[in-house]
Amino acid sequence: MKIQAINGFKDILPEAVGRWQSIEQRARDIFERFGFQEIRMPILEKTELFVRSIGEATDVVEKEMYTFADKGITMRPEATASIMRAFIEHGLHVQQPVQRLYTIGPMFRHERPQKGRLRQFHQLDAEIIGAAEPRVDAELIAMGRMLLDELGLTVSLELNSLGCPVCRPPFKERLVAFLEQRREVLCDDCQRRTRTNPLRVLDCKKPSCRAVVQEAPSLLETLCPDCDRHFLEVRTALEELRIPFRINRFMVRGLDYYTRTTFEFLTTDLGAQAAVGAGGRYDGLIEQLGGPPLSGIGFAMGLERLVLLMEQQANNSLAAPSTDLFVAALGTALLAPCGQLVHALRQQGAKAAIDYSGRSLKAQLKQAGRSNARFTLIVGEDEWARGEAILRDMRTQEQRTFTLNGSPEEQARRLLALVGTAATSG
Ligand code: HAM
């Protein structure tokens, strides 16, 4: 029986890897422009870390974590909690009070797989720790926007504020009272959530629940003065940076650590999976995990969703993989010297390829074409006996004679000089 990958776990094949790498490189480049440094954490963490940060009554913790129950450890479902754990454990703020950290890597959630939703997926995650000013929120959102823009993606931005421990609890009470009165109309999940996590009812997708929450009290209208001012200043700073957004008072996010600003980058091009990226402020989290009372804000983008969008919005043609020089050795006796030449070419930085099968010239030229070779060096037995080979420009089909004297290193140097000039003039 053939063994296949687990449902929801996907191979990223060579033909797709180029796109992944270009997104990752662009992200690293932009994050570094904004002063971020990379951090890499382990994939396994103590289960308690996620329970205490993401929250016990969230979907992620209740039903989506890959946990080794007997060992008390879990495969990370997201990166923020792990970054905060590492930040606290190593006292990173002591060296530098404001930390800007990013990470790129796999996350694990036991969700029902569908387009854009996997059980192992990858996030680009960026966090700013130790800065509470609203302009920082706008700066971080602007960074996400810049990445999406530079990838050529059309994605909208929604914004909300979830208040703080001063204004959220009284709001929750009002919301629960409102929902209790309409209990029969709510779906089973929301009837349960009214008790466990009432804010989640606000973003239920079921039409009956949606109709109910349209009339629900709004947290935005009951923010405390500090949260209200913060939200106003974030909006103003976004406007100053000319970043369009829409306010969505029903956005609650699926993780419990958020306070104040939350945001989502959304698309209608990925079916049910609307969020390409999302994040927000988590001002009490670090202290709650045993660290100093520092604020934080961050976001994560799903790499699979970015890749799908790039394919879908199709304004991104990816350069095909290419070879600088393909060496076609026509005869087994020539494999040794041609192998040495290819090795020398690679040592000198060229992307060189060779076929060891001793196949016909026609077959090898076909392979050179498939590997997108810019030039092919044809080494036939007769030419070899004369100390020569033929250099063929695969684009113009022009051919010229190349003299094979000197060591493989010298040949490689001359060949690259020749190929370099021909490539720039051709
Ligand atoms: P999140 O909204 O759970 O937030 O996930 C962020 C992004 O990860 C989503 O917008 C989506 O693109 C991607 N994603 C999530 N689950 C899946 C999945 N099953 N398959 C494919 N992609 C997925 C967080 O994870 C927070 N840690 C973000 C954050 C950072 N907040 C503050 N700092």
80 lines ligand 1 (CB under 6 A): yes
| Rg of the Cα atoms in the chain | 28
278 lines ligand 1 (CB under 6 A): yes
Asked if residue 348 and residue 291 are part of one domain, the reply reads no
Q: Is residue 156 part of a domain?
A: yes
Structure tokens at 127: 């966090």
Q: Is residue 111 part of a domain?
A: yes
Asked if residue 157 and residue 72 are part of one domain, the reply reads yes
Asked if residue 384 and residue 271 are part of one domain, the reply reads no
Q: Which residue range forms the structural domain that includes residue 330?
A: 323-420
Q: What separation in Å is there between the alpha carbon of 15 and the centre of ligand 1?
A: 25
Asked if residue 145 and residue 38 are part of one domain, the reply reads yes
Q: What is the CATH number of the domain that holds 132?
A: 3.30.930.10
Helices H, strands E: what count in the chain? 16, 16
Q: What separation in Å is there between the alpha carbon of 303 and the centre of ligand 1?
A: 10
Is 147:26 a contact under the CB 8 Å cutoff? yes
198 lines ligand 1 (CB under 6 A): no
Predicted confidence at residue 306, as pLDDT, reads 96
Predicted confidence at residue 320, as pLDDT, reads 58
SS3 74: strand
Q: Which numbered atom of ligand 1 lies nearest the CA of 282?
A: 32
Is 322:316 a contact under the CB 8 Å cutoff? no
Q: Which numbered atom of ligand 1 lies nearest the CA of 275?
A: 10
Q: Which numbered atom of ligand 1 lies nearest the CA of 279?
A: 31
Predicted confidence at residue 42, as pLDDT, reads 98
Asked if residue 345 and residue 282 are part of one domain, the reply reads no
Q: Is residue 188 part of a domain?
A: no
Q: Which numbered atom of ligand 1 lies nearest the CA of 123?
A: 8
Q: Is residue 216 part of a domain?
A: no
What sections of 90-206 are H helices per DSSP? 92-95, 134-150, 168-181, 188-196
Identity (one letter) of the amino acid at 93?
H
- Determine the Cα–Cα distance for residues 196 and 328; give it in Å rounded to an integer: 69
Asked if residue 393 and residue 258 are part of one domain, the reply reads no
Pairing relationship of beta strands 246-247 and 156-161 according to DSSP bridges: parallel
Structure tokens at 397: 């089909």
Predicted confidence at residue 15, as pLDDT, reads 87
Q: Is residue 301 part of a domain?
A: yes
58 lines ligand 1 (CB under 6 A): no
The set of residues, in sequence order, having a beta carbon less than 8 Å from that of 281 and lying 6+ positions away, is 137, 258, 259, 260, 261, 262, 295, 296, 297
Last residue of a domain, one of 259, 283, 312: 312
257 lines ligand 1 (CB under 6 A): no
Identity (one letter) of the amino acid at 162?
L
Structure tokens at 126: 């960026």
Asked if residue 134 and residue 69 are part of one domain, the reply reads yes
Q: Tokens 């969230």 belong to which residue?
A: 58
Q: What value, to the nearest 5°, has the Cα angle with vertex 51 and ends 45 and 265? A: 90
Q: How many domains does the chain have?
A: 2
| Most informative mutation of 63, 64, 78, 299 for ligand 1 (most atoms within 8 A of CB) | 78
Structure tokens at 38: 């990379």
Q: Is residue 195 part of a domain?
A: no
Predicted confidence at residue 426, as pLDDT, reads 45
Q: Tell the residue nearest (CA) to atom 33 of ligand 1.
A: 298
Q: Is residue 181 part of a domain?
A: no
Q: What is the CATH number of the domain that holds 404?
A: 3.40.50.800
Q: What separation in Å is there between the alpha carbon of 239 and the centre of ligand 1?
A: 25
300 lines ligand 1 (CB under 6 A): yes
Is 330:380 a contact under the CB 8 Å cutoff? yes
Q: What separation in Å is there between the alpha carbon of 216 and the centre of ligand 1?
A: 27
Last residue of a domain, one of 259, 278, 312: 312
- Taking only the tens of pLDDT, the chain with its 426 residues reads 899 999 999 999 998 999 999 999 999 999 999 999 999 999 999 999 999 999 998 999 999 999 999 999 999 999 999 999 999 999 999 989 899 999 999 999 999 999 999 999 999 999 999 999 999 999 999 999 999 999 999 999 999 999 999 999 999 999 999 999 999 999 999 999 999 889 999 989 899 999 999 999 999 999 999 999 999 999 999 999 999 999 999 999 989 999 999 999 999 998 887 999 999 999 999 999 999 999 999 999 999 999 999 988 865 555 556 789 999 999 999 999 999 999 999 999 999 999 998 899 999 999 999 888 999 999 999 999 999 999 999 999 999 999 999 999 999 999 999 988 665 554
Asked if residue 366 and residue 278 are part of one domain, the reply reads no
CA 170, distance to chain mean position in Å, is 37
CA dihedral (48, 54, 57, 63) in degrees, to 10, reads -80
Predicted confidence at residue 203, as pLDDT, reads 86
Last residue of a domain, one of 312, 347, 366: 312
108 lines ligand 1 (CB under 6 A): no
Q: Tell the residue nearest (CA) to atom 22 of ligand 1.
A: 302
Identity (one letter) of the amino acid at 349?
G
Q: Is residue 180 part of a domain?
A: no
101 lines ligand 1 (CB under 6 A): no
| Most informative mutation of 100, 123, 129 for ligand 1 (most atoms within 8 A of CB) | 123
Predicted confidence at residue 352, as pLDDT, reads 94
Asked if residue 274 and residue 143 are part of one domain, the reply reads yes
Asked if residue 99 and residue 160 are part of one domain, the reply reads yes
CA distances to 63, 166, 198, 360 from 247, rounded to whole Å, are: 30, 22, 20, 65
SS3 388: strand
Asked if residue 289 and residue 266 are part of one domain, the reply reads yes
Quote the longest CA-to-CA distance of the chain. 95
State residue 13 phi and psi, 5-degree precision: -80, 160
Q: Tell the residue nearest (CA) to atom 9 of ligand 1.
A: 277
Asked if residue 399 and residue 271 are part of one domain, the reply reads no
Is 398:360 a contact under the CB 8 Å cutoff? no
